[in-house]
Amino acid sequence: MTEPPEKAGIPGLPPALETKLLDIPDEKFAEVVRLLERVRDHPDVRQTFATIRPRLIQTRPDRRPTLKRVLCMPFEDVLESPGGRGKVEQPLGRIERRAIEPVWRLVAERADQAVFERLDHQVRETAPGNRNALLNIGRVLWPMAAGILHAAAAENGPLRGDAPLRRQVEEIAGLLDIGLIVEALKSDLSPKPVPALEEEHTDAIERAAQAAARQAPDTVYGLLRIAAARLANPADLLTVLPDLDLGRAKRDLPAILSRLGGLVVGHLEERIARPDGAGDAPPIPPEEAVVLAEQLLASVTATGAAMERRSDPAYRGRLDAVKRAVGAMVSGSVLKTAATGILSAVPAPPLAGPPVVDEPAQIAAEDHARALRRSAGLAEALGLQQPVDDTLKAMGNGLIEQAQALLDAYPRLMAHPDDADAAETNLYYVLRLLEMVAGPGKAESLRLAIMASTAGRYDD
């Protein structure tokens, strides 16, 4: 029986506890998480864990293992999870988090109770981070749970009324069937995400696929979903998959490649459809938009090449649509906002009083300028060459005009040292921005003009 919070060492659950937990140092956060783990069945604590899950994913403190967590290990890589800025991270081939409770309930109710209680006791005695002990528990738990879930999905029971949930229960059961193989592959494809698919990674995927095929050929596709989900660019797997020996599942390679290709394309479509997250999340910043565009464009290119290799044109139109959407995102987040994001950061010279130096605005403007310059590398592939060139030219001309206005105002500010210092700071801020968007040639001309205008102030 779970102790009430008071007896477990928690004097109470403040209403804003979860908000405070997002700001405290990592070490203190880990201590509080361990304390909350002892009373996680309390409704307020469950809500707190739901709120702080993004930070749990980011910091990954050692948490007290539970049997439910062990059950989820083979499919945790494809579980959707809360992300930053109000987003829900959608992993490749995702399984909805809502599937966990029905799955856990089925296993807890239908398992051999003596075995179930023994495993639960073993988990409670396991120290955080003892992976070998958890694998030994999973060795017994996963095949038992897989059998229960396969049977439940085949029954004319409650799962029949929820087709998406029933499908996900079947997918979970398939991954639990090969739980130890999945866990071995995860170790070989760590840390996540794997930035580039090296030969050692492809060898590990091939070995795991052969092992899964020996057990049941229809589990290989699920295993490859896990492999793809652990890659920074899941489309990389599509490029090497035709050359892998899948053992007993070799005859299924065309179907597997087609299904996995469809999964990758669908994942790309989801990522570009929700770049800003859900609800009232703030617009995606320019630098994030460019990074996302680079990732998506690389995935589109790799996926398109893999599909062409198999003479499979089914997804060509969808990939073209993704590319167009990526171009629209870059245009909306980087190009169309450039005037506001870059030029507005430069304060106009005051008619009276001291100049204003806005350092935060300058930092944001430099981030935007870097994103604009970086987008030039994507312009041709996204069909944005002319818009990017036009925006860079407009920003360069605008910055030169603003710099000239600052230079014209500088002589009347020289008499007041503080005003002159502020004016010079703004001039050099403009110089930095101009170098980013127009290149060192244009910036050199402005640098010389600034030096000529300010030289008199330092003459003896």
Please provide residue 404's backbone torsions phi and psi, each rounded to the nearest 5 degrees: -65, -40
> Which residues, 6 or more positions from 128, have their beta carbon under 8 angstroms from its beta carbon?
62, 63, 64, 65
Q: What is the pLDDT of residue 136?
A: 97
| Tens digits of pLDDT across the chain (460 residues) | 333 333 333 444 455 555 566 666 766 766 666 666 665 666 666 677 666 666 666 666 566 789 999 999 999 999 986 544 444 456 676 899 899 999 999 999 999 999 999 999 999 999 888 999 999 999 999 999 999 999 999 998 778 888 999 999 999 999 999 999 999 999 999 999 999 999 999 999 999 999 999 999 999 999 999 999 999 989 999 999 999 999 999 999 999 998 998 899 988 988 888 654 433 445 689 999 999 999 999 999 988 888 877 666 778 889 999 999 999 999 999 999 999 999 988 888 877 777 888 999 999 999 999 999 999 999 999 999 999 999 999 999 999 999 999 898 888 887 788 888 888 899 999 999 999 999 998 899 899 988 888 876 655 5
Please report the pLDDT score of residue 314 as a whole number. 73
pLDDT, position 14: 52
DSSP symbols for 384-402 = -HHHHHHHHHHHHHHHHHH
In order, the DSSP letters of 166-193 are HHHHHHHHHHHHTHHHHHHHHHHT-SSS
Q: State how far the Cα of 204 lies from the Cα of 315, in Å rounded to an integer.
A: 28
Radius of gyration of the chain, Cα coordinates, nearest whole angstrom: 28
403 closest CA partner among 434, 366, 372, 436: 434
Tell me what pLDDT residue 8 has. 39
Taking CA atoms, 88 is separated from 53, 161, 191, 277, in Å, by 11, 26, 21, 7
- Upper half-sphere CA count for residue 274 (Cβ side, 13 Å): 16
CB atoms within 10 A of CB 419: 18
**What was the pLDDT predicted at 393?**
96
294: alpha, beta or left? (left if phi > 0; alpha if psi -120 to 50): alpha
- Cα–Cα distance measured from residue 9 to residue 85, given in angstroms and rounded to the nearest whole number: 32
Q: What are the structure tokens assigned to 373, written together? A: 């310059």
* pLDDT value at residue 10: 41
Residue 347: the pLDDT is 84
Contact between residue 398 and residue 340 where contact means Cβ atoms under 8 Å apart: no
